[in-house]
Amino acid sequence: MDNVTIGFIGLAAALALVALRVQIGVALGAASFVGIACILNLQAAWGIVTAVPFNFVGDWNLTAIPMFLLMGYIASGSGLTSGLFRAMRIFLSRLPGGLAVASVGACGMLSSAAGSSVAVSAAFARIATPEMLRYRYDPGLAAGVIASAGTLGSMIPPSVLMLLYAYVAEISVAKVFMAGFLPGLLSALVFVAMIIIRVKLKPSLAPPVTEHFSRAEKIAAAKEIWPLPVLIVGVLAGIFVGLFTPTEAGAVGALLSMLLALSRRSMSWAVMKKSVFLTLSGTAGIFMVVIGTVLLGRFMALSGVPGAISSWFMELGTSQLGVILAVALLYLVLGCFLDSIGLLLLTLPIVLPLARETGIDLIYFGIILIKLLELGLVTPPVGLNVYVTKSALGNLVPLPTIFRGVGWFIAADLFTLSLLIAFPWIALALPGMME
């Protein structure tokens, strides 16, 4: 049996283990170990399995992951994000579908700090959806906007997915962060435009809110949320102008979130303890998946599978657009069954060589992949964010109703994806200014 065949069998075995609910890092690591042993020998496989995790965990660049997680958990736990929806509601409720628009804005701001789409959807499902239902919003819109807007954190920097992609692709984290800013803003604006147009065409979806807010209430709301924009802008501006590296930015962000919490007298030992615990558990889970993926990458390189797939695409005469569309189809299918981090890391050893072979800019390619991962978080039958929203809402909104509401946002995301494919400069404008 030749090495390429062993590689494809190993890849199929890894997917089968994932389908059987084996933890994805364990599934990838086990399949890779057996595959490397078949290609080389058992001793070589054991040597790779013992050396790779140690070298990976010791990589200084990856310290940004726990630091950004800590920043988000401190910001959330200390109340820096409290009142975010209320402030957005005060400023945006006069628009058609204003509460849904406010949810998009609030979710986008929080997810950029928290770095977790799931956490954002769970939090706002309890806060914003009942408020929208109280104003007789369509249940599908009220729940669907939360499940969908929570995904914005994958694209709006700082993002753990961006960090992982840049690490595996061996490209600048700072440039990937900057590349995600405009596409993330575009995604939010397309969501907002879709909501306003739908409500204009069918006002019963979101009856107008007749409340009037005084200037004093607006000023008070702005004062309540000022720490979050300061935190986000402080981190991104520092990276953009070169004050610190993205790795250092994680530590700066964590420190800044602590200082902001202290300035508001909302920092406590209990908050710090819980934030550190959540950071450790979250980092361990991510690192388990990444270690399995690194092993899979070694296995794929030894087997020659990426080269075989690239050669096949080249024989077909596939263009850059053809590769992007093929990868998009792959991600849209697998995104129905796998979580975003697992899907990204599972497929990178296969799709990155394709991008390099066809000359696709890897920064731009990463933005396309992350946009596809956002879609995977809400597409049936899995749609992790949909189930998280349903869990947070209990029996308030049925699951089929949430999926119905999410369908409009999937269409909006596909429209945004088409714009990114048609106009690569949207992703590459800001990174180009850093050169």
What backbone torsions phi and psi does residue 181 show, to the nearest 5 degrees? -65, -55
- On whether the pTM is more than 0.95, the answer is no
* pLDDT score for 48: 82
- Ordered per-residue pLDDT tens for the chain, 435 residues: 778 888 888 878 887 887 787 877 788 888 888 888 888 888 888 888 888 777 777 767 677 778 877 877 787 677 766 666 677 777 777 788 888 888 888 787 777 666 566 667 777 777 788 888 888 889 999 889 988 888 887 788 777 788 889 888 888 888 898 898 899 899 999 999 999 999 999 988 888 876 777 777 777 777 777 777 777 777 777 877 778 777 787 788 888 888 888 887 878 888 888 888 888 887 787 777 778 877 877 887 788 777 777 677 666 656 788 888 888 888 877 776 666 777 787 788 888 888 888 888 999 999 999 999 888 878 876 677 887 788 778 788 888 888 899 999 999 999 999 999 999 999 999 888 876
Query: Contact 206/99 with Cβ under 8 angstroms?
Result: yes
**Lookup: tokens for 217:** 């209430």
* pLDDT score for 114: 61
* CA–CA gap between residue 283 and residue 281 (Å, rounded): 6
* pLDDT score for 237: 79
Annotate 58-89 with DSSP letters as a single string: T-GGGGHHHHHHHHHHHHHHTTTTTTHHHHHH
* pLDDT score for 315: 64
* pLDDT score for 314: 65
Burial class for 85, CB neighbours closer than 10 Å (0-12, 13-18, 19+): buried
Angle between helices 269-303 and 24-39 (to 10 degrees): 30
* pLDDT score for 227: 75
**Nearest in space to 66 (alpha carbons), one of 278, 245, 343:** 278
* CA–CA gap between residue 187 and residue 402 (Å, rounded): 20
Count of residues making up the chain: 435
* CA–CA gap between residue 176 and residue 431 (Å, rounded): 7
Torsion of CA 394, 398, 404, 410, to 10 degrees: 20
**Nearest in space to 32 (alpha carbons), one of 59, 47, 13:** 13
Ordered by start, the domain boundaries in the chain are: 3-433
* pLDDT score for 361: 92
* pLDDT score for 317: 57
* CA–CA gap between residue 221 and residue 230 (Å, rounded): 15
Write the single-letter amino acid at 63: T
